[in-house]
Amino acid sequence: MINIFSPPGGPPQTPRPSPEIYGIMGEENIFKMLYDFYVELGNSDIKAMFPADLKEASEKSAAFFVGFLGGPPLYHQRYGNPMMRARHMKFPINAHARQVWLDCFDKVLENATEDYNFPAEHLPDFKAFLHGFSTWMVNREG
């Protein structure tokens, strides 16, 4: 039997990133950013948690982020309600896996303004969101 861990404090209370981000970046850049993020994940020590087809997985995540960052609700239209914690329950996400995930995102975000037209003024809030969101995805101790 798997012992499911729930992070203390419940879902993150971090404010959502600005919906202005989508208008500045556009859909194509969000998809490119998420693809590059998944390439990093595919080279990490948590790569076994991800499917062999990283492009498909990155597109699913990008669809979520498009809507989340102010664009059309692509994820909802294609896959339904995100229910992110429930959808991630099948993956053993502990504090180490969370940190690797964050490190991969941080690496992609290092040059996000130049590479994806990510608005620099919104990067701190986006990173804060990622930290809160990833805490909520942790479902195993250790």
What does pTM read for this prediction? 0.92
Please tell me the predicted confidence (pLDDT) of residue 85.
Answer: 80
In whole angstroms, give the CA distance from residue 77 to residue 47. 28
For the chain, the structural domain boundaries read 20-137
How many degrees, rounded to 5, is the angle at CA 70 between CA 38 and CA 115? 45
CA 12 to chain centre: 14
Burial of 119 (0-12, 13-18, 19+ CB in 10 A): middle
| Helix, strand or coil, per DSSP, at residue 9 | coil
For residue 56, give the nearest of 31, 84, 22 by alpha carbon.
Answer: 31
Looking at domain 20-137, does it have CATH number 1.10.490.10? yes
Q: Mean pLDDT in each 10-residue stretch from start to end of the chain (142 residues)?
A: 73 87 98 98 96 94 97 95 84 94 98 98 96 91 82
Please tell me the predicted confidence (pLDDT) of residue 2.
Answer: 63
